[in-house]
Structure 1
Amino acid sequence: MNRAQFLKLVLGGAAGAALAPLARAAAPYDFWFTRLKYDSGDWDVDQRMPANMITSLIDYTSLRVDPKEHVVALADPKMLLAPFCYLAGHKLVEFNPAERRNFEQYVRNGGFVFVDDCNHDIDGLFATSFERQMASIFGASALKKLPNSHGIYRSFFTFKDGPPATGLELNGWGDDLVHDYLKGIDVNGRLGVLYSNKDYGCEWDYDWRNKRWLAEDNTKFAVNIAIYALTA
């Protein structure tokens, strides 16, 4: 199945229905949420966030989505099989040799990691230590600002102004800045690491049944992230 065919399946329609049997024969799920557990820091944050992302993918797409969150140690080779990985925290990020090896192998071989700074700042412990890890693995200039024209802002829904702001930023928490860009690391022309100082994890950390009270579903950007991870 090529990328165009997969997009038709994701978006539904007659073509998608015709392709569905092929996809079902290939794997039980198109998407499963993998949270990366690492030895340093506090990896088990925003515990209700995965349920909201999963619910949105079920609501808006035709993907076959595993309804459960999977927690896998970054040092475990099983993480190399995931279509999407999530890594977050407030504290120190300092990979041990196995974690570093798997992270690099996963990204260089076409994997996708969404990394979210729960402190939502640019000079806190998580931000400075994670960025230091990325520089040591991929090079000092690898982590770059994403332009608002990047494909991740149009992979499903359209965000013409780039990354949507979070209520945490608007309330002046963290470093009292609204971060109007995300960063990323490209490998062979494809985004392999998406890095956020906006604390989307906390923004999406609520009982999924409370979505009905929102004027606008704030997890729509999570759908874009997942679709990009699967199709870019």
Structure 2
Amino acid sequence: MRRTRRFGMALLGVALLAATPAVASSPSAATTRLSVARLQYDGDDWYANPSALPNLIKALRARTTLDVEPQEVRLTLSDERIWDHPFLYLTGHGQVRFTDAEVARLRQYLLQGGFLHADDNYGLDAAFRREIARVFPDRELVDVPLDHPIYRIVYAFPQGVPKIHEHDGKPPRGYGIFIGDRLAVYYTHEADLGNGWEDVGTYPEDPPELHEQALRMGVNLYVYAVTSGVGR
């Protein structure tokens, strides 16, 4: 039987360095591998926003006690390394297509404690909704309530996910799929956090204040993702 993994079990020592005293990590947390993994898929530009994840990783390493690996990881759903990475990030502007085997693998990954953040970079909505419905035909994407920990675990977002890039001018939405009471999939639509994570100046219409808001929301997402399985 292949070894399975419960992500986040040794990650109780999270703290925001700039706001609260550092919390001592448990002994096992010091050896736990933490990473941010970009999901490569069949479709369009899975590689969009090239400076986004490097900047998010820098923020995680500077603002939390988590020893996050300094380089982003890139992998497909068929890659056996997926079991070693608790946080998957998916973005793009158009088509996403999973094979039947990839659908089964993603479902297994999420049921075992993994976390997927899908970030619509404009044009991804229809394809992502179609594919995630194949992964979880028994669960719907729903609005994540504003009192959920993802909006307050480190930084407070009482109005929910911030709007970073205008696109169609519609309000930002944060959708989710829950497994029990754990948020396993978080889908940002009309927000475009990835644009906000990119280097300041990449999008002149997005001021530095939005870059900071995007990074703060990204910190919340990651901290929740790697600690949400604790005690479950």
Gaps of 5+ in 1: none
Query: Does residue 195 of structure 2 align to residue 229 of structure 1?
Result: no
Q: Which of the residues 161, 164, 169 maps onto 2:159? A: 161
Q: Which of the residues 50, 57, 62 maps onto 2:65? A: 62
Q: Which of the residues 20, 23, 29 maps onto 2:29? A: 23
SS in 1 for 2:135: helix
Q: Which of the residues 112, 124, 127 maps onto 2:125? A: 127
Q: Tell me the alpha carbon deviations over residues 127-149 of structure 1, each in whole angstroms, 9 at most, x when there is no partner.
A: 11110112222126521111111
In the alignment, which residue of structure 2 is the partner of 1:10? 15
Gaps of 5+ in 2: 1-7, 202-206
Distance 2:29 2:139 in 1: 38
Q: Which of the residues 46, 50, 55 maps onto 2:49? A: 46
Q: Which of the residues 190, 196, 206 maps onto 2:199? A: 206
Q: Which of the residues 105, 108, 113 maps onto 2:108? A: 105
Q: How many residues align?
A: 211
**Larger helix proportion of the pair:** 1
Distance 2:132 2:29 in 1: 34
Report how far residue 10 of structure 1 moved: 3.5
Report how far residue 55 of structure 1 moved: 1.0
Distance 1:72 1:132 in 2: 21
Report how far residue 9 of structure 1 moved: 4.5
Q: CA RMSD in A?
A: 2.5
Seen in structure 2, the aligned counterparts of structure 1 residues 22 and 76 have a Cα distance that, compared at 3 Å, is closer
Distance 2:12 2:85 in 1: 19
Identity %: 33
Distance 2:188 2:120 in 1: 6
Q: Which of the residues 180, 185, 188 maps onto 1:188? A: 180
Distance 1:15 1:150 in 2: 23
Seen in structure 2, the aligned counterparts of structure 1 residues 14 and 57 have a Cα distance that, compared at 3 Å, is closer
Distance 2:99 2:153 in 1: 34
Distance 2:87 2:69 in 1: 12
Q: Tell me the alpha carbon deviations over residues 154-200 of structure 1, each in whole angstroms, 9 at most, x when there is no partner.
A: 1111111111121x12xxx2x23122x30010012211110011211
Q: Which of the residues 87, 94, 99 maps onto 1:96? A: 99
Say if 1:38 and 1:75, in contact at 8 Å, map to a contact too: no
Say if 1:9 and 1:20, in contact at 8 Å, map to a contact too: no
SS in 1 for 2:95: coil
TM-score, length basis structure 1: 0.82
Q: Tell me the alpha carbon deviations over residues 98-128 of structure 1, each in whole angstroms, 9 at most, x when there is no partner.
A: 3212211111111100001110xxxx4x211
In the alignment, which residue of structure 2 is the partner of 1:82? 85
Say if 2:10 and 2:29, in contact at 8 Å, map to a contact too: no
SS in 2 for 1:68: coil
SS in 1 for 2:163: coil
